[in-house]
Chains A and B, each alone.
Chain A
Amino acid sequence: MQKSTGWAILLLMLVIKPAASQSPQNPFEIPAAAVPRGKIDDLVFARLKMLGVQPAHPCSDAVFIHRVYLDVIGTLPGEQEAKDFLSDRDPNKRGALIDRLLGREEFADYWAMKWSDLLRVKSEFPVNLWPNAVQAYHRWIRTAIKQNMPYDQFVREILTASGSNFRVPAVNFYRAVRKKEPKVIAQAVALTFMGARAEKWPEARWSDMAAFFSQIAYKSTAEWKEEIVIWSEGSAQKNLSNAGFPDGKPARILPDRDPREIFADWLIDPKNPWFTRNIANRVWSWLLGRGIIHEPDDIRPDNQPVNPELLSCLEQELIQSHYDLKSLYRLILNSETYQLSSIPASDSATAESNFAFYPLRRLEAEVLIDALDQITGTTEQYSSAIPEPFTFIPENRRSIALADASITSPFFETFGRPPRDTGLELERNNAPTAAQRLHMLNSSHIERKIEQGPRLLALLKQPGGGQALINDLYLTILSRYPTDAEVKKAAAYYQTYTGNKREALVDIVWALINGAEFICRH
């Protein structure tokens, strides 16, 4: 009841001090023209100019912090983090924030999730890694990301690993396939590290590449589900005479050398036509929502980059930095192109495919549920009794940090989390469906969070109410202050609400988490 005073004052204030406020009515962009400020921007803007496409305005600080948290660490900024950033006067605060985020633990969680999608990290079939190996493999991937292992080394370690699936986790790459056959393995290597679909190649190219993987042997041990993956010299030796690189170069196979090493050395050479291109294009697509070659894992001669100079520029950067992925992230995140607003100045397919604005994208299932948990102070419970051994997951484990795609939830199923069966980028389905809307708008799962979540309850109980409360809700959920118009609408809803006033506050929270601004990266 003390709250009503705050609300009454607020309404009064709005009457006395009408539209002449400082908050802009469009809180999403800076009303200035976007200006190129580096090599990437020069190439993007030049292309846009040539096409006669107007780029969007730069995004506001509020949009930037919200976006860059979600994009870099898969996590919503906290209320205080948003407040501090917005009040920071340092002109270089965006760059400084990017550096901080690249060093956060959640960076490793979030990108380990992404890589686990591509590397098909799951216990059950069709890949059948089983729980122990899943945990070991995921930890290895996460550590590599956390330590910023040079990407060429990351790939080489995966491709040349030998040993137990528990002790040399990278060998699980060769187990995480539908069938442990050379052609299926070659297909997975081509897809993951070359961004290419071997099944669209001429048959000979595919089978010549498969020969490099024809000497892999799998051996079980006395330990439950342990498997040794090794180079079994001499097995299927005759296949090796066919071995050939996908660029047509003949391979020199030495009898005392694991052919996977010969392949890996060919692959990670900076001059390789697929290797650098694939990862540069993927990183761009992860941050900008679309590949320069699109789909990013379908590189082929008849699928040309929309901006070839831009792609070569990214490739050169990677080579010069010795495959330092964080440095590529940093370069892209600091560009004006990445920091454009999501409100198109010219709305066309050409504008979209040439990066004239930041595209709206629905949050991934894991990121969305983590964000809801963070706002409300609630948790999800995950566990798996089957297959053995039982996987226990602490209650505070965030969804982006789950190792195993076989551990799932109705929320994940509804929101298109990938089953990690194929390693295709498209396996993650972020398209909105009616079932998702039902879940967000009206499920007991979400309703319980917003009605009973301890963090939200504490927020709603704060003395004062009114503007301070609305500010807190906006900062918590959308990482920005509300506009006057929004405050007015919220206050009006609260004042005219005829039932229990607490319900009105819950409804305001409900409206904010159901808006496109919350559900989509923007």
Chain B
Amino acid sequence: MISRREVICRTFYGAAGLLLADSLCLHAQNAARPAKAKSVIQIWMWGGPAHLDMFDPKPAAGYDYCGPLDKPIPTNVNGIVISELLPLLAKQADKYSIIRSMTHGVNAHETASYIVQTGRMPGGRDTFPGVGSVVSLFKGYNAGYNGLIPPYIVLTQLQGRFSEAGFLGSRYKPFATGGDPAQSRFAVEGVVSQNISDKRQQDRRELLHKMDTLGQVIGNNSLLQAFTRTEEEAYGLILGDSGKVFDLSLEKNEMRDRYGRNTFGQSCLAARRLVENGIPFITINSQGWDTHRQHFQTMRQKLPQMDQGMSALLEDLSDRGLLESTILWWSGEFGRTPRIQWEAPWNGGRGHWGDVFSAVVAGGGFKGGHIVGASDERGEQVKERPVYPVDLIGSMYMLLGIDPDEKLPHPDGLQVHVMPDASEGVKMGGLLKEIL
């Protein structure tokens, strides 16, 4: 008799090396199918990026919708047109797909952030963990990750409440680097100190041990042992090689230039280095997209930086063979009001818009060069194929090999799963089969 599992295993892995296949298969079965993606880089456009001015241009809608940005440009994929301020990304369109029918209908930052990053609606019994925490659980700690650097990193500031570890607890919270990667020294909080030389770090550490009278008198104690262990880990980052992942000066100047010498560009470069070091989830928290006023000035200033950094990241990941195992996920919590608010006090700004907005995905098994869904002719409503945040999140989990039915550890022992159950009443449109 051959069991069902063996049949599946043989089909997946061939008859050879059954023992190996068996262990692989347990994992594969558990995860529904083998993982294509190992890491996720989330580019988070805090505040809500204007879909019309980036990946969903509507030149036919007229001046009240496009303002001065009414000449979108073709890309290297036939039929895909994006903003004129994204010429470098236009040359990489074969690598990513654009979802133009994201929707959740919520126009408040925190609530929308929560929905986009957890796939759940707030207000229920619990605060759910965001994708980063779930990935750091299943692809980090539970998968045997034991690097000194936490498996979930945010460059550079936390996204804030409503959007992180939820009931999973502090272990799954992201490590926020602080500092600015565009500075000559990227002062990662706790890891890199601007003004303290390695020599002084060593002197200090020696002094610390010399002055530790209590530790010397008590000797053996489990808490003190934990202190010693965590101190060793800390210095592994401060003085050892692990911290070097953040040392962007180890990159060639031309590589740093290619990403753009600004916070966003260098964050993209840092994210690539973190992926190379096996970190499963990295968020680039790009702030300043809440453009109620000065909207078009901000677009002209910020979009070229985004264009350069993100296109360099796509190209670089691809050149290094990392794009096939790395998901790039670009999104904000919502889009922005398609009809420009010319009136005072906005004077040409855009407000919050949760009815329809765009997301971009690339790599890790997502096909490039596709458009998913569509907004209507003015970018105000979903025209076809509504995509809810949970659909995108579920598709990423599938590529990462995270079982949607896996239980999330809950402090009260409640039965909650990676993906919402029918009883939770979350709106769903289904996996993004078009680009998987």
Query: What residues of chain A have their CB less than 8 Å away from a CB belonging to chain B?
Result: 26-28, 124-126, 178-179, 199, 342-344, 347, 360-362, 386, 406, 408, 410, 413, 416, 421-422, 424, 429, 431-439, 441-445, 447, 483, 485-486, 489-490, 493, 497, 499, 503, 507-508, 510-512, 514-517, 519-520, 522
Point out which of B170, B190, B192, B233 has the most chain A C-beta atoms below 10 A from its C-beta.
B190
B214 near A445 (CB under 8 angstroms)? no
Count of chain B residues near A, Cβ 8 A:
55
The 7 A-B residue pairs with the shortest CB-CB distance, nearest first, are A438-B190, A434-B233, A437-B234, A517-B214, A437-B230, A443-B190, A511-B208
A126→B124 CA distance, assembly (Å): 8
Residue on B nearest A512 in the bound complex, by CB: B211
- B110 at interface, CB cutoff 8 A: yes
B208 near A438 (CB under 8 angstroms)? no
B123 near A124 (CB under 8 angstroms)? no
The interface residues of chain A lying within 8 Å CB-to-CB of B220 are 347
A437→B217 CA distance, assembly (Å): 21
A515 near B211 (CB under 8 angstroms)? yes
A514 near B208 (CB under 8 angstroms)? yes
- B319 at interface, CB cutoff 8 A: no
The interface residues of chain B lying within 8 Å CB-to-CB of A410 are 158, 176
- B210 at interface, CB cutoff 8 A: yes
A232→B187 CA distance, assembly (Å): 59
A178→B190 CA distance, assembly (Å): 36
A sample of 20 inter-chain contacts (CB < 8 A) reads: A28-B214, A360-B223, A421-B167, A421-B411, A422-B412, A429-B170, A434-B237, A438-B189, A438-B234, A438-B238, A447-B193, A489-B207, A493-B203, A493-B210, A497-B203, A503-B200, A507-B203, A515-B208, A515-B214, A517-B213
Interface residues of B in 163-207 (CB under 8 A from A): 167, 170, 173, 175-176, 178, 187, 189-196, 200-201, 203-204, 207
The minimal Cβ–Cβ distance linking A445 to chain B, given in whole angstroms, is: 7
Residue on B nearest A447 in the bound complex, by CB: B193
- B218 at interface, CB cutoff 8 A: yes
The minimal Cβ–Cβ distance linking B388 to chain A, given in whole angstroms, is: 22
A516 near B161 (CB under 8 angstroms)? no
The interface residues of chain B lying within 8 Å CB-to-CB of A362 are 223
Known: A441-B190, A507-B200, A516-B223. 16 other contacts (CB 8 A): A28-B217, A125-B126, A344-B218, A424-B411, A434-B234, A435-B175, A443-B190, A445-B189, A447-B193, A490-B211, A493-B210, A510-B204, A511-B208, A517-B212, A517-B213, A519-B227
A344→B200 CA distance, assembly (Å): 35
The interface residues of chain A lying within 8 Å CB-to-CB of B204 are 441, 507, 510-511
Residue on B nearest A507 in the bound complex, by CB: B204
Residues A360 and B200 in contact in the complex (CB < 8 Å), given A434-B234, A515-B212:
no
The interface residues of chain B lying within 8 Å CB-to-CB of A406 are 161
A435 near B150 (CB under 8 angstroms)? yes
Residues A441 and B127 in contact in the complex (CB < 8 Å), given A410-B176, A447-B193, A512-B211:
no
The interface residues of chain B lying within 8 Å CB-to-CB of A508 are 207, 211
The interface residues of chain A lying within 8 Å CB-to-CB of B224 are 360, 516
The interface residues of chain A lying within 8 Å CB-to-CB of B122 are 125
The minimal Cβ–Cβ distance linking A92 to chain B, given in whole angstroms, is: 27
The minimal Cβ–Cβ distance linking A27 to chain B, given in whole angstroms, is: 7
A516 near B215 (CB under 8 angstroms)? yes
Query: What residues of chain B have their CB less than 8 Å away from a CB belonging to chain A?
Result: 110, 122-123, 125-127, 148, 150, 158, 161, 167, 170, 173, 175-176, 178, 187, 189-196, 200-201, 203-204, 207-208, 210-215, 217-218, 220-221, 223-224, 226-227, 230-231, 233-235, 237-238, 411-413
The minimal Cβ–Cβ distance linking A76 to chain B, given in whole angstroms, is: 16
A169→B237 CA distance, assembly (Å): 48
Q: B214 is contacted by which of A124, A489, A510, A522 (Cβ under 8 Å)?
A: A522
A124→B126 CA distance, assembly (Å): 11
A493 near B207 (CB under 8 angstroms)? yes
The minimal Cβ–Cβ distance linking B168 to chain A, given in whole angstroms, is: 11
Residue on A nearest B204 in the bound complex, by CB: A507
The interface residues of chain A lying within 8 Å CB-to-CB of B238 are 438, 441-442
The minimal Cβ–Cβ distance linking A306 to chain B, given in whole angstroms, is: 18
A441 near B150 (CB under 8 angstroms)? no
The interface residues of chain A lying within 8 Å CB-to-CB of B213 are 26-27, 483, 485-486, 515, 517
Q: B148 is contacted by which of A27, A434, A515 (Cβ under 8 Å)?
A: A434
B230 near A433 (CB under 8 angstroms)? yes
The minimal Cβ–Cβ distance linking A63 to chain B, given in whole angstroms, is: 9
A77→B238 CA distance, assembly (Å): 32
The minimal Cβ–Cβ distance linking A305 to chain B, given in whole angstroms, is: 23
A499 near B200 (CB under 8 angstroms)? yes
Q: A511 is contacted by which of B125, B194, B207 (Cβ under 8 Å)?
A: B207
B227 near A413 (CB under 8 angstroms)? no
A437 near B233 (CB under 8 angstroms)? yes
The minimal Cβ–Cβ distance linking A160 to chain B, given in whole angstroms, is: 27
A445→B193 CA distance, assembly (Å): 11
The interface residues of chain A lying within 8 Å CB-to-CB of B110 are 386
The minimal Cβ–Cβ distance linking B33 to chain A, given in whole angstroms, is: 34
The interface residues of chain A lying within 8 Å CB-to-CB of B191 are 438, 442
A497→B226 CA distance, assembly (Å): 30
A439 near B190 (CB under 8 angstroms)? yes
The interface residues of chain B lying within 8 Å CB-to-CB of A437 are 227, 230-231, 233-234
The minimal Cβ–Cβ distance linking A435 to chain B, given in whole angstroms, is: 7
The interface residues of chain B lying within 8 Å CB-to-CB of A443 are 189-190
Residue on B nearest A518 in the bound complex, by CB: B214
Residue on A nearest B233 in the bound complex, by CB: A434
B230 near A416 (CB under 8 angstroms)? no
Point out which of B110, B167, B214, B224 has the most chain A C-beta atoms below 10 A from its C-beta.
B214
Residue on A nearest B109 in the bound complex, by CB: A386
Point out which of A422, A438, A490 has the most chain B C-beta atoms below 10 A from its C-beta.
A438
B223 near A520 (CB under 8 angstroms)? yes
Residues A416 and B170 in contact in the complex (CB < 8 Å), given A435-B150, A435-B190:
yes
Q: A441 is contacted by which of B214, B231, B412, B413 (Cβ under 8 Å)?
A: B231
Q: B194 is contacted by which of A179, A444, A515 (Cβ under 8 Å)?
A: A444
The interface residues of chain A lying within 8 Å CB-to-CB of B234 are 434, 437-438, 441-442
The interface residues of chain B lying within 8 Å CB-to-CB of A489 are 207, 210-211
